């Protein structure tokens, strides 16, 4: 069993209803993983995130185990990148934001909870969506945005807010990565923490 900090805690309230419309189109041009709100998520940007994780895993203890435990990493990472765009859109529409200081404070709290930066980085690599060290702040921002939206609208209404933001963004996914599954909130059968860790539904995101 992995040691867990709030980085690995699910935002499982999102399991209750669809977040994004299923959307996949062969029209997405080469070099594009997805188009969200008219802006491309390039395959180069996606692959860079995957490479950072694989590099960190290769320098960790038992690298083979970590790599074997995170198959389909491209699709999983792309799913998170799309979800972040949705959160940003919903937060912007609501006049909410997360500052650099918010992220710094959350990072300090996570380091204290993990009893050191090295331990935090090890835990992050073992998450269901593995994080390279330089991706931790991005994940904290993700959690903080979700936490602020949940606090503003309540857990019973935030799904509708996110669904509207997703619809407004007209998400289009390169078929290479599958199609967006609104029920699973994932690409194809890829898994995300907010789908799987239902037992933690009552706990707020890091720093929320």
* Count of CB atoms situated within 10 Å of the CB of 48: 11
The whole-number pLDDT of residue 200 equals 36
Dihedrals phi, psi of 205, to nearest 5 degrees: -60, 160
Residue-averaged pLDDT of the chain:
80
Other CB atoms within 10 A of residue 176 CB: 15
Q: pLDDT band for 20, please (50, 70, 90 cuts).
A: very low
182 pLDDT tier (thresholds 50, 70, 90): low
Asked if residue 110 has pLDDT above 80, the reply is yes
- Domains of the chain: residue spans and CATH: 6-198 (1.10.4030)
pTM, entire model: 0.79
Assess whether pLDDT exceeds 50 at residue 101.
yes
User: For residue 169, is pLDDT > 70?
Assistant: yes
pLDDT of residue 8: 46
Single out the residue of 45, 50, 48, 51 nearest to residue 32, CA to CA. Answer: 45
Say what the pLDDT of residue 9 is.
Answer: 42
Does residue 164 carry a pLDDT above 60?
A: yes
Percent share of the chain, pLDDT over 90: 53
Whether 84 and 78 have beta carbons less than 8 Å apart is answered as no
Give the residue carrying structure tokens 């959350």: 106
Count of C-beta atoms within a 10 Å radius of residue 188: 15
pLDDT over threshold 70, residue 204? no
- For 103, the 3-state DSSP assignment is helix
Among 45-49, 76-80, 156-160, 202-206, name the one with the lowest average pLDDT: 202-206
Q: Which residues contact 151 (CB under 8 A, 6 or more apart)?
A: 208
Q: List beta partners, residue 34.
A: 41, 173
């Amino acid at each position: 069993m992995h040691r867990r900090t709030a980085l690995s805690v699910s935002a499982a309230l999102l399991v209750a209803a669809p977040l994004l419309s299923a959307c996949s189109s062969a029209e997405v041009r080469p070099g594009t993983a997805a188009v969200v709100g008219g802006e491309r998520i390039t395959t180069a940007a996606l692959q860079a995130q995957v490479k950072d994780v694989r590099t960190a895993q290769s320098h960790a203890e038992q690298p083979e185990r970590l790599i074997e435990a995170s198959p389909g990493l491209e699709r999983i990472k792309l799913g998170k990148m799309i979800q972040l765009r949705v959160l940003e859109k919903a937060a912007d529409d609501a006049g909410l934001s997360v500052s650099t200081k918010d992220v710094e404070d959350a990072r300090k709290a996570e380091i204290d909870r993990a009893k050191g930066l090295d331990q935090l980085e090890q835990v992050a690599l073992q998450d269901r969506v593995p994080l390279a060290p330089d991706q931790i702040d991005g994940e904290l921002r993700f959690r903080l945005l979700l936490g602020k939206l949940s606090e503003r609208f309540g857990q019973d209404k935030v799904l509708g807010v996110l669904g509207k933001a997703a619809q407004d963004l007209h998400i289009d996914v390169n078929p290479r990565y599958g199609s967006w599954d609104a029920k699973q909130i994932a690409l194809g059968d890829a898994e995300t923490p907010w789908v799987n860790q239902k037992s933690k539904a009552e706990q707020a995101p890091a720093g929320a």
